[in-house]
Chain A
Amino acid sequence: MKVSAIITLKKDVLDPQGKVIHQALDGMGFENINEIRQGKYFEIDVNENDPNKAKAVVEDMCKKLLANLVIENFKIIETQ
């Protein structure tokens, strides 16, 4: 089954890319933005039918490689 993981920067971590994107959008006329934070999105097809087991595997992947827990949080979403 397919499981997705979203990796986002923690609140206290500076995100200069997000800031620049914010400024660019602001310059394009999107003036009602409070803040933009850039993150990462992974779609993982796990060879596992039990959703809980599949999510547990992806959680392990996030902790060991996909996210750096010093600066990032992760959220796991079952997509299929």
Chain B
Amino acid sequence: MKSSVITFPGSNCDRDMDVALKKFGFNNKMVWHDDNELPKSDLVVLPGGFSYGDYLRCGSMASKSRIMQSVINFAKSGGLVMGICNGFQILVETGLVPGVLLRNKYLEFICKNVFVKLDNKENTYFKNLNKNILEFHIAHNEGNYFCTKDQLKEIKDNNQIAIYYCNSEGKIEDQYNPNGSIKNIAGIFNKEKNVLGMMPHPERMIDESLSGEDGSIFFKNLINNIK
């Protein structure tokens, strides 16, 4: 299985993602933002970080970089594209997934472990996963998911909400919402469910002794689903 991780100026989770993908069997290539062509890939990842120093709006400059036209074409032809953290911000700026990510409600940079609940498993990312609640890490300043009322209705009607912030029992309540996101939304799909954007970092949860193993569960399952 072939994957590509795009590195933008200011990306800083690209190598972590590379380590995670390789650990679970992906043949991963790093791709520079200024390249024109994507290598042949089964999965493209837009990693976390601070692309272009978060100038203008987070992800806005990266969404217009040269490689992104190929990524957008790949996504539109049904290819799997996953954006994590800053990658999610880039995805919303391309319009591949609806909504935007505003500054966190209490204006703090948040760096901690959170629990997320999967909303639906009828997609390549979560199909066959044997857990419904996963512990991931978040580290962001702009993760406050926002969309218009009409968009919210549309993403609900199309089952596009991928994961919600919750507690360890899976309760989705205001007190477990770290950043003020509408309806505790931590990640969403496009209509076709081949594009996933989420704030939490599964690549930071791939070592039993350092972090936790919920990222390992996620990546192992993902590669099996793609095979």
Contacts and interface: CB of A to CB of B under 8 A. Distances in A.
B102 A17 contact: no
Contact of A13 (B64, B93, B146): B146
Contacts of A44: none
Contacts of B60: 65, 68
A66 interface: yes
Contacts, number: 34
Q: Is the interface of A mostly helix, strand, loop or mixed?
A: loop
Contacts of B180: 14
Contacts of B175: none
B210 interface: no
A16 interface: yes
B109 interface: no
A20 B105 CA distance: 11
B107 A16 contact: yes
Contacts of A70: 98-100, 146-148, 151
A2 B73 CA distance: 36
Contacts of A13: 102, 146
B57 interface: yes
A20 B107 CA distance: 9
A71 interface: yes
Contacts of B99: 70
Q: Is the interface of B mostly helix, strand, loop or mixed?
A: loop
Interface string A1-25: 0000000000011101100100000
Interface string B82-107: 00000000000100001110111111
Nearest to A9: B102
A68 B144 CA distance: 15
A17 B141 CA distance: 13
Contacts of B93: 68
Interface in A57-72: 65-66, 68, 70-71
B97 to A, nearest CB: 11
A75 B105 CA distance: 26
Nearest to B63: A65
Interface of B: 56-57, 60, 64, 93, 98-100, 102-107, 144, 146-148, 151, 180
Given A70-B98, A70-B148, 5 more contacts: A13-B146, A14-B105, A14-B180, A16-B105, A70-B147
30 contacts: A12-B148, A13-B102, A13-B146, A14-B102, A14-B105, A14-B144, A14-B146, A14-B180, A16-B103, A16-B104, A16-B105, A16-B107, A17-B103, A17-B107, A20-B107, A65-B56, A65-B64, A66-B56, A68-B57, A68-B60, A68-B93, A68-B100, A70-B98, A70-B100, A70-B147, A70-B148, A70-B151, A71-B100, A71-B102, A71-B146
